[in-house]
């Protein structure tokens, strides 16, 4: 007996996207007889390949992808229940293991969107968990121009008060404008004053600088930094974090992205659910014309989807 078309469609959907629709697997696969399972294999060339010895076998690449999808719910639950310091320390360690191109953005995100005490706590947890300092491992794993920026960011302990020296903010906006304008002579990321300002000044100060920069340039500073992704991410995480997180979420929700990019969906929702998820949802809707809840509903599956929707519903 061949599998019914609607069951094949439901099963294909259960195996596709972010996470796995566990209930569909139980209700459909559990009752199928050998002939129905055979028709599924024959009718699913994106999952199975025809072996030269005349049987259908799982495509190895797809099995590896499914492994990541099956553990997505578990990983979200484990991250959610961790102490925030441990969570950030483990996220940083994983990022460094994955290699520079993966680690830069996550290290910037952790350094620039946490409070001074939260970042200090993550560094303490990193000591306890890995018997190294975070600064030490960042300096060891990252080379080139980005090293100075990233070591300074993870080492930062920014002033958290509301006072801003407006004259200094204006002056430093001009400093950054000149550094970016002269990028053909020297990259802004190699400019010590640029690094000093972005890694030591308070967030209110840098947000004031952000406004003054636009008055000088006519553009936002992150728009002028399109040629330097790491400085751009730093500015966005400090000055427009809800926009930054919305963009990360939207990229992670695309179906054709790699497994590391998909992981950002879990990371952002778990780390921001207690902080600024309401503002992120509003910004996401403004940028993409669809609610974040609806996008997750359309893209994710099963227990993983339900858990994410529960987290983003917190706080309205």
DSSP designation for 218:
S
Sequence-distant (≥ 6) Cβ neighbours of residue 297 within 8 angstroms = 305, 309
| Integer CA distances (angstroms), 12 to 1, 19, 301, 303, in order | 19, 13, 12, 17
Output the pLDDT for position 221.
Answer: 97
| Integer CA distances (angstroms), 136 to 99, 126, 133, 147, 235, in order | 15, 11, 5, 11, 24
The CATH architecture assigned to 158-239 reads Orthogonal Bundle (1.10)
* Class of the CATH domain delimited by 85-157: mainly alpha
CATH of domain 243-312: 1.10.220.10
d(CA 273, CA 258): 24
Output the pLDDT for position 259.
Answer: 85
Report whether 19 belongs to an annotated binding site: yes
Report whether 15 belongs to an annotated binding site: yes
Beta-bridge mates of residue 18: 300
Is the Cβ–Cβ distance between 237 and 275 less than 8 Å? no
Q: Which residue has the tokens 């920014």?
A: 158
Token digits for 96? Answer: 């460094």
Output the pLDDT for position 5.
Answer: 67
Output the pLDDT for position 2.
Answer: 55
Token digits for 222? Answer: 């992150």
Report whether 255 belongs to an annotated binding site: yes
Domain layout of the chain by residue ranges: 5-70, 85-157, 158-239, 243-312
Same topology between domain 5-70 and domain 243-312: yes
- Per-residue model confidence as pLDDT tens for the chain (316 residues): 555 668 877 877 888 789 998 988 888 888 888 888 888 888 888 889 988 898 999 889 888 888 888 999 999 999 999 999 999 999 999 999 987 777 789 999 999 999 999 999 999 999 999 999 999 999 999 988 899 999 999 999 999 999 999 999 999 999 999 999 987 788 999 999 999 999 999 999 999 999 999 999 999 999 999 889 999 999 999 999 999 999 999 999 998 888 889 999 999 999 999 999 999 999 999 999 999 999 999 999 999 999 999 999 986 6
Sequence-distant (≥ 6) Cβ neighbours of residue 189 within 8 angstroms = 145, 146, 149, 195, 228, 230, 231
Token digits for 67? Answer: 């492994």
* Class of the CATH domain delimited by 5-70: mainly alpha
């Amino acid at each position: 007996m061949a599998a019914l078309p609607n069951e094949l469609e439901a099963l294909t959907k259960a195996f596709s996207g972010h996470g796995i629709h566990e209930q569909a697997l139980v209700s459909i696969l559990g009752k199928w007889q050998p002939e129905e399972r055979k028709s599924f294999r024959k009718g699913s060339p994106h999952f199975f390949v025809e072996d030269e010895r005349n049987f259908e076998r799982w495509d190895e690449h797809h099995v590896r992808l499914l492994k990541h999808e099956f553990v997505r719910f578990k990983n979200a639950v484990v991250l959610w229940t961790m102490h925030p310091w441990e969570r950030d320390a483990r996220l940083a360690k994983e990022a460094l293991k994955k290699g520079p191109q993966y680690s830069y953005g996550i290290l910037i995100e952790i350094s620039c969107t946490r409070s001074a005490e939260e970042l200090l706590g993550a560094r303490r947890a990193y000591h306890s968990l890995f018997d190294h300092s975070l600064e030490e491992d960042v300096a060891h794993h990252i080379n080139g121009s980005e090293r100075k920026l990233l070591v300074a960011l993870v080492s930062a302990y920014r002033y958290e008060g509301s006072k801003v020296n407006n004259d200094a903010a204006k002056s430093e906006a001009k400093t950054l404008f000149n550094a970016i304008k002269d990028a053909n002579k020297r990259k802004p990321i190699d400019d010590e004053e640029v690094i000093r300002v972005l890694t030591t000044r308070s967030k209110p100060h840098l947000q004031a600088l952000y406004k003054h920069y636009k008055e000088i340039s006519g553009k936002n500073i992150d728009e002028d930094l399109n040629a330097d992704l790491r400085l751009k991410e730093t500015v966005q995480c400090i000055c427009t974090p809800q926009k930054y997180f919305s963009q990360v979420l939207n990229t992670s929700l695309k179906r054709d992205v790699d497994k590391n990019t998909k992981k950002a969906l879990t990371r952002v929702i778990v780390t921001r659910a207690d902080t600024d998820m309401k503002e992120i949802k509003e910004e996401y809707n403004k940028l993409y014309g669809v609610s974040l809840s609806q996008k997750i509903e359309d893209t994710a599956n099963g227990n993983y989807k339900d858990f994410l929707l529960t987290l983003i519903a917190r706080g309205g």
